[in-house]
Structure formats: structure tokens, C-alpha cells
Chains A and B, each alone.
Chain A
């Protein structure tokens, strides 16, 4: 017995040595062996050339490894922003009879938009097509393999790029749900979102980020619009569409007389913190690589959130006399929205300014402008995302700096403060297109879905709550 135990031990040791040698193989290849002394010059040059080629391959592999790791993590962070980030943030803001209904609207996006993306919307957004929309070459993810597409991201598999962008496509429609909270039929919402993804998100994403897109600043669009991580594509479209749905659907029963305060600011708080952390994936991941641009975007994102918290809370303190938790977290989200288009273009200090302006601006939008007009944008999707995104897009045109991101060429002035006043006009153009597409697209879809299925729940269902009427469940079951 002892004899065979020794054999096993020796085999294990040998396996360890060989295994170690296999794992460190690539490193050994990269380090290489020095050419033997005494060989001819030709031999030595040939060996060096082979060495250089091997090194280049190893370097590319290492770079891909680092970039891909960061991008996959970023994709996961952005998905976390939807679930549970947004689900909790919105969930806590509604009345408790609607908590599951609200969370389900976001969760349904995680499932449905994914399938739709795989089937067709990835192709419409990022496939080769026109200035407005992509073609159908990548339907069913045809051609979306593990090799990079150098036009989009040269060091990561195209599938990584695809799945990263998918997470954006998921959260954008989920943001709209805040405007029609507590009164939309689940079935109608699903149909609405599928049509919205096809008719509004895909074209907007294509125009700003897709090959041949009209507004694509990196790929020679005719009206180059600086939108690093989706200020127009995500926040303006969702925010403006949200306003349209709120106006079309009408106010909740009892609004504004009946008090409808958040049933759990605690849940919203947790959601907001998850959004803040997840946003690093949203913005810094939009560098599409793990290099210094990701660092810039990461820092700008964080600074924007912090300054906006202070901006909103400061304004609230002055106007209301107290700093509320709901205000503070709303401020942070507003700052994150506003810094989204700017993240990879501005200096850290500029990010502080952008955040500060966004915090104050969105606070006023939510507490003054909304009451003024009287619309029931229940969870302030327009006030924070629509308004914050619009402001952020314009501020990007002001603060963008070629020292951070020489997108128009090394040393070429990017934003207004650097000397290029023209960019603010381009930004305004991009914003105007986003507004128009959102308004027209959303109105058409709402009209059609309303006529065919009916958008709003019945009065009885609205009083009972979405949890019971739409899902046959209770979020909080106190009896057990």
C-alpha cells in the first residue's frame, strides 16, 4: 500500500511540473530563446524576425485578454443596472400594491429585448446599412463571431461588443416604464417595447454608433455628434418617449390630489447605489478597451455623480430646508445621466461642473416644471433622463477636450471651450433628431397599440394594483 502511495505522489509531482510548463508555455515563447552564438548573421536575423512576429501575436493576445476581461465585466455591470438596480430604484418609488408590476416591467426587458436583439435589432443597430438604420446582414447574429470587427472594437471579439451593446438596449426601454408606472397593461407594454426597440432605439443607436450612421463622430458621420455612452441614444430617447407616454396615457387615478408617496425609499436607495456602481460599466466600458480612456471615463462618471448629488441636495436644502435621501439619490442619478455623453471626452474637473449643473437643473425640472405643466411623469423619467440627457449632450459640446479624447484628430479642437464652437450646434442637432424620432415614433406606436390591445389597465385593476391585476401576486404578503 505504501509503495503505490509513493507512485501516486510521484505521478502527481510530475503532473504538476508538466502542467506548470504547459501554462507558462506562451510566456516562454514570448521570452524566446536567444539565437545561438556561432550561427550566421542571416540565421540570426531570421530568428529575430520570427521572435518579433511571435511577440506581436503574444502582445495582441495579452491586449485582447485585458480588454475583453474589462468589457465582459462592464457588460455584467450594465445588466446589473437594470436588474436589480433600476427595478429597485423604480420599485421603491411606487405604491406597494405595484412593486412587482414595476419590477416585472424591467425584468421583462431583460428577457424580451435580449431575444429581439439576437433576432434582428442588433443588425438594425450595428449592421451595415444606411445613414439611418442598419441592414439585415446580421440577422440571427450572422457574422457575429469571436473575431473582432476593427471598425467597432479592434481588440475584443465582436460577440463581446454585441452583448455589451445589448445591455444598453435592455435598460433604455426599461427607463421609459417610469413615466407610465402603475397604470400600463403588461401585455400592451411588451408590444409597445418591442415596437419601440425596432422603430426608435435601433435607428438612434445606428445613427450615433453604427457604421455609416449620420451622427457617428468616430466613423465619419456627416453630423458628428459626441455621445460617449448614450446621452442621446439612451437618455434623451427614453426620457422624451417617457413624456409622450405620460401625456398620452393620462394621469393616474387620483393624481395629483391623492397622496402617492414612495412606499420604500430604502429600496430606491439600494437601487440607486447599484446604478452608480453599474454606471462605471456603462460609461467606462464605452471606451471598448481597458486603456486610459476607460480611466478618464470612470473618473468623470464618478465625479459627475458626486457633484450632482451635492447640486440637487444643495438646491433642495435651500428651497425646502432639509436634505432628503430621495433627493440625494435622485441627484446622483441625474449627474450620471448628464455625464453619460461626456464621460470619455472631458477632464475630471469639467465632470464636476457638468454634475453640479445637472443636479440643480434636474431638481428644478422635477419640482417646479413638472408641477407647472401638470403631467404625471410618475417616476420622473423625463425630468431626470430626458432633461438630464439633453443638458448633458449640450454640455458635452462645451466641455469636450481633445487632450482627453482626440476624436477629430490629434490636437484638433473638440469642444467650445477648446475653440470649436461648431460642435455645440452638432450636439443640438443630435439632440433634436433624438427628440423628433422619439416623439413621432412613440406617438405612432402608442396609437397603434392602444387601438389594437388597449394601453391602460381598467380602473378596477388600477385600484387593485398591478401586482394582483397583472401578475396574480402580492409583492408583500403580510399574512404569513
Chain B
């Protein structure tokens, strides 16, 4: 089992969700996040004072899938989220030791 963490532009959330549903992903966790990579922030001005805002709004998805599903899932995300400009985001993949369904204590891949 592997966890796929994807930080994407908020405007791409709907497209990514639809793409994931299409490849058969049932569950995901979606968070509002702030951050930046090489994308610089912007300047805001309040009563003549300038503020550098470099914590930009982002959306982060966490999806845990079976090893076989990883490539399909990642490709779905990339296709839906890519615009080609700086700020598109990043995907990180890590190994998951265990998954448990709280309702009935199912463990392992059936819990996904």
C-alpha cells in the first residue's frame, strides 16, 4: 500500500476529483493548505503599508492505494492538475505500513 500526497492549485480540485473517481478511487482526504515552492507570493497593500504574502492557498490530497493502483492514480492526478505554469504543485509517494477500517476492524488492502 502506498500513500500519494498531492499539493495542487485550488482551481484544479474539481478536475482532479473527477479524474480520480474515473479510475476507481473511492476514498481520499482533502485539506486546505498554504505554501509555495518556486512560485513567489504577491504584495498586498493596506493603508500604504506593503505586505509580502508568500503563503499561497493550495489544496492537498492524501490517497492511500494498493501498489497496482499507484501509477494509474498518479497519472490521473497529473493529467487533471497540470497547467504547465509554475505553481502546479507536487506529488509525493510513501510506503504505508498498515490500514485499518475503524467500523469493523478490517485490516490491510481490504480496508482501503
- A→B interface (CB under 8 Å): 256, 259, 261-262, 265, 319-320, 322, 324, 326-327, 330, 363, 366-368, 370-371, 380
Q: How far apart are the CA atoms of A32 and B81 in the complex, in Å?
A: 85
Q: Is the interface of B mostly helix, strand, loop or mixed?
A: strand
Q: How far is the CB of A176 from the nearest CB of chain B, in Å?
A: 18
Instruction: Count how many chain B residues have C-beta atoms less than 8 Å from C-beta atoms of the other chain.
Output: 8
Report the 10 A-B pairs with minimum CB-CB distance, sorted nearest first.
A367-B48, A259-B51, A261-B46, A261-B51, A366-B47, A326-B46, A320-B45, A262-B46, A366-B48, A326-B47
22 A-B residue pairings within 8 Å (CB atoms): A256-B49, A259-B51, A261-B44, A261-B46, A261-B49, A261-B51, A262-B46, A265-B46, A319-B48, A324-B45, A324-B46, A326-B46, A326-B47, A327-B47, A330-B47, A363-B48, A366-B48, A367-B48, A367-B49, A368-B48, A371-B48, A371-B49
Q: How far apart are the CA atoms of A324 and B47 in the complex, in Å?
A: 9
Give every chain B residue within 8 A of A327 (Cβ-Cβ): 47
Q: Is the interface of A mostly helix, strand, loop or mixed?
A: helix
Q: How far is the CB of B51 from the nearest CB of chain A, in Å?
A: 4
Give every chain B residue within 8 A of A324 (Cβ-Cβ): 45-46
Residues 37-70 of chain B: 1 if any A CB is under 8 Å from the residue's CB, otherwise 0? 0000000111111011000000000000000000
Minimum CB distance partner of A262 in chain B: B46
Minimum CB distance partner of A364 in chain B: B48
Give every chain B residue within 8 A of A265 (Cβ-Cβ): 46
Q: How far apart are the CA atoms of A319 and B46 in the complex, in Å?
A: 13
Give every chain A residue within 8 A of B52 (Cβ-Cβ): 259
Minimum CB distance partner of B51 in chain A: A259
Q: How far apart are the CA atoms of A422 and B48 in the complex, in Å?
A: 37
Q: How far apart are the CA atoms of A259 and B50 in the complex, in Å?
A: 9
Q: How far apart are the CA atoms of A363 and B46 in the complex, in Å?
A: 12
Identify which of A322, A368, A380 contacts B45 (C-beta below 8 A). Answer: A322
Q: How far apart are the CA atoms of A261 and B51 in the complex, in Å?
A: 8
Q: How far is the CB of B47 from the nearest CB of chain A, in Å?
A: 5
Assess whether B47 is in contact with A380, with CB atoms less than 8 Å apart: yes
Give every chain A residue within 8 A of B45 (Cβ-Cβ): 320, 322, 324
